[in-house]
Amino acid sequence: MSSMENRDVVQNTYDKMKKNINPEIEQDDFYKYFYNLLETGMNYCKFMNVKLIKSIDEEWVNEIEAALPALYEVVMNPRKFIEEQREVVNIAMARNINAESVRHLIQHSDMIDKYSEDGTVVPNRILNVFKEESYNIYENRFICTLLAELQQFVNKRYNVIFENSKDELGTFFEMESRIDNYTEMVEYKVQVKIRDKQTDLDNEQNNANIFARIAKIYKTVNSLVNTEFVRIMRAYPAVRHPIVKTNAIGKNVNYKACHKLWNFIYTYDKVGYRVELVKQEPIISRQFEKDIYDSFIWHYAMLHNQVDEQSKVDTNREKIQKETDVKYIRQLLDEIIRNCDIPDANLRKIVQSELSNLQAKRKNEIVRLERIRRKNRLAEQQMAQHMQEESYNSLHQNEESNNQGQTKKLFGGRFKRKKK
């Protein structure tokens, strides 16, 4: 199953699970109460995707592939020559006696013990001539040395390119949350790690062809190194650069191809590949954030339901206002970019223009509100002053009225008119 097909299967499951959630849950008093606590609580969330991006220089792959058929032919059918070994040995040890042995004996009469009357000669020692096929020629030593250099060249690059994904590769999600539920402190921790165990040949679909070619080169070269020919040739000394261009190396098609490969490996000073570790920290969208909070609420409710003596949760408390932070702004921008097909340059102009308009509108709104507040403050001051004046006048009138009453009471008996 390809990664795309696997993603479709998981996506289908996710969609089905979302459909099974009753949409009326968002109107539930406890859900709204707890969701507000999560939005305004202490939350730490980390979402990261780490992967390797590999690129290969095809030059060295092409050169090795072009030379491998010739190299294979030479290793499977190496050049041989007849090697003679001459040694004077005791007559009892002689194994290969030929005309050259007889001529040598005639020239060295001291090696003869006796002569018989019938002409028979009895030697005590004789020249033993041993002939055998040998691979010990310069061309074969060159091929063996080339294979050793080629194996090191290929294996070094293969091991890095096809290195298995380490623990730091994959998708990681981590969340820690702490909320104060007035009657209880709730701590929530979750950590999810998804590590892909598939090989590079399965994952790197765009580069599958080049990876397959490198794997084939690796297999072929290491197979040639383990042949009987190389095992025999390891007993002989290796050659050094520059290679002597013998008749065989200069004229034979297969040896010429091998010589070309030798020169390429010797002069190739590039790494031949590039492996880049890419860390992506995607912005957590509002939908993803909602899924995270829903999961928290579900786990809390599930655990709370298993407790015999449950603490009472008061959902009628005043709702805490959520502060607008950088994360929220990033989420909004991320949603705009994801759901918009406008080119980046045009989108940037639109955002800047709208932002300027909104800022100007907000500035005008602030000026208007400030003007209204000043007007209200002035009206309040005038009203307070008016009330203060009325209060003062009322108090003054009361004082005058009281004074007149006291005066009448004090002098009322003295100024009674006489009756006529």
Nearest to 37 by CA among 240, 190, 181: 181
**pLDDT at site 281:** 78
Rounded to whole angstroms, the Cα distance separating 87 from 100 reads: 12
How buried is residue 142: exposed, middle or buried, by Cβ count under 10 Å (0-12/13-18/19+)?
buried
**pLDDT at site 254:** 96
Per-residue pLDDT of the chain (420 residues; tens, 9 = 90+): 555 555 678 888 888 888 888 788 888 888 888 888 888 878 888 888 888 778 899 999 999 999 999 999 999 999 887 566 677 778 777 777 777 777 877 788 788 777 777 777 778 887 776 666 778 899 999 999 999 999 999 999 999 888 754 555 788 899 888 888 777 888 899 999 887 665 444 445 556 688 899 999 999 999 999 999 999 999 999 999 999 999 999 999 999 999 999 999 999 999 898 877 788 777 778 888 889 889 998 998 888 888 776 667 767 776 666 555 555 566 566 667 666 777 777 777 777 787 788 778 778 888 888 888 888 888 888 888 878 877 777 776 766 666 666 555 554 544 445 444
pTM, 2 dp = 0.52
How buried is residue 290: exposed, middle or buried, by Cβ count under 10 Å (0-12/13-18/19+)?
middle
User: Mind giving me the DSSP string for 160-200?
Assistant: HHTPPP-TT-EEEEEEEEEEE-SS-EEEEEEEEEE-----H
Helix (H) or strand (E) holding 52: strand 42-56
Residues 6 or more apart whose Cβ sits within 8 Å of residue 395 = none
Nearest to 243 by CA among 266, 259, 254: 259
For the chain, how far is it from start to end, CA to CA, in angstroms?
134
**pLDDT at site 201:** 46
137 phi/psi in degrees, rounded to 5: -125, 160
Distance of CA 354 to the CA centre of its chain: 37
* Cβ-contact 87, 130 below 8 angstroms: yes
Pairing of strands 170-180, 42-56: antiparallel
**pLDDT at site 418:** 47
Helix and strand numbers (H, E) in the chain are 13, 8
**pLDDT at site 165:** 44
**pLDDT at site 55:** 84
Rounded to whole angstroms, the Cα distance separating 311 from 240 reads: 84
Rounded to whole angstroms, the Cα distance separating 156 from 142 reads: 21
90 phi/psi in degrees, rounded to 5: -60, 145
Q: Map residue 114 onto helix, strand or coil.
A: strand
User: Mind giving me the DSSP string for 300-353?
Assistant: HHHHHHT-SSPPP--TTSPPPPPPP-HHHHHHHHHHHHHT--S-HHHHHHHHHH
Rounded to whole angstroms, the Cα distance separating 63 from 153 reads: 12
**pLDDT at site 152:** 96
Residue 15 tokens read as 């969609």
**pLDDT at site 420:** 44
* Cβ-contact 90, 125 below 8 angstroms: yes
Task: Tell me which DSSP letter residue 412 carries.
Answer: T
**pLDDT at site 151:** 97
Burial readout 210-229 (b: 16 or more C-beta within 10 A, e: otherwise): bbebbbebbebbeebbeeeb
Rounded to whole angstroms, the Cα distance separating 119 from 101 reads: 18
Nearest to 312 by CA among 197, 182, 117: 182
